[in-house]
Amino acid sequence: MSDAGVGTIDRAPMPGIGVFNKKLGMWVFLLSEVMFFTSLIGSYIILRYAHPEHFAEPGVLLNVNLTAANTFLLICSSVSMVKAFAAIQQGDVKGLQKWLLATIIMGACFVGVQIYEYIELGHEGFLPALTDYTAHAGGPLYGATFYAMTGFHGAHVSLGVLALIFVYIRALRGEYTVADHEGVEVIGLYWHFVDLVWIILFTIVYLI
């Protein structure tokens, strides 16, 4: 089979459902991710209410204001991703490039702020392997669950930024058009997902 034939099959909708193969694959992947993060968040909630002595109150140790600003930055990156997709739908390749770059910068800044927060928390004695209870830092369950949830999410954002860079390079090469921009839509689905997960994490871990 020729390369052209393979490309056509790859972009063809699945029979009966009208969903492109890559898009369907991303939805299946995101469904597995929903189950993964649901288990992490569920474990955190159960442990927190079963062993409240292991957890410090929100705002005692965590920098809520900094993280709130970082959350706003991630939400803005989701908006810029929408702008990028809308641009290519209208055939605006320059607009696609501009908004993709904005999304990449904001996503990278989000990860950078999270790393900075980890460093500051480490200086405060709040570590994943914390074994001794302190009134300031809480107990071992707090450190383990906090770093597991935020760390895995940070890894997902980092992978998303790398994927966005790949899409951006393709956009610079002019590989996306009004008729063929599935790659932009697929990475957009992933990016909106990690944004939504973070809003939930921020609410549960930093506010409640």
Structure tokens at 20: 């492109």
Q: What is the reported pLDDT for 108? A: 98
Place of tokens 């950078």: 112
Name the nearest CA neighbour of 130 among 145, 116, 119. 145
Name the nearest CA neighbour of 145 among 40, 34, 39, 67. 40
Cα–Cα distance measured from residue 196 to residue 83, given in angstroms and rounded to the nearest whole number: 17
All domains in the chain, ordered by first residue = 3-207 (1.20.120.80)
Q: What is the reported pLDDT for 1? A: 39
> Which amino acid type is present at position 78?
S
Those residues of the chain that have pLDDT short of 70 are: 1-20, 129-139
Q: What is the reported pLDDT for 139? A: 65
Q: What is the reported pLDDT for 5? A: 44
Q: What is the reported pLDDT for 22? A: 77
Q: What is the reported pLDDT for 129? A: 67
Asked if 180 contacts 116 with a C-beta cutoff of 8 angstroms, the reply is no
Cα–Cα distance measured from residue 163 to residue 169, given in angstroms and rounded to the nearest whole number: 10
Q: 48-97 pLDDT, tens per residue?
A: 888 888 888 878 889 999 999 999 999 999 999 999 999 999 999 999 99
Cα–Cα distance measured from residue 77 to residue 87, given in angstroms and rounded to the nearest whole number: 15
Structure tokens at 80: 């810029």
Residue 21 CB-density burial (10 A; 0-12 exposed, 13-18 middle, 19+ buried): middle
Asked if 189 contacts 26 with a C-beta cutoff of 8 angstroms, the reply is yes
* Residue 198 neighbours by CB distance under 10 Å: 23
Cα–Cα distance measured from residue 26 to residue 181, given in angstroms and rounded to the nearest whole number: 15
Angle at 113 between CA 96 and CA 49, to 5 degrees: 115
Burial per residue of 172-191, b for 16 or more beta-carbon CB atoms within 10 angstroms, e otherwise: eeeebeeeebbbbbbbbbbb
Structure tokens at 158: 């980092």
Structure tokens at 102: 């904005």
Asked if 90 contacts 178 with a C-beta cutoff of 8 angstroms, the reply is yes
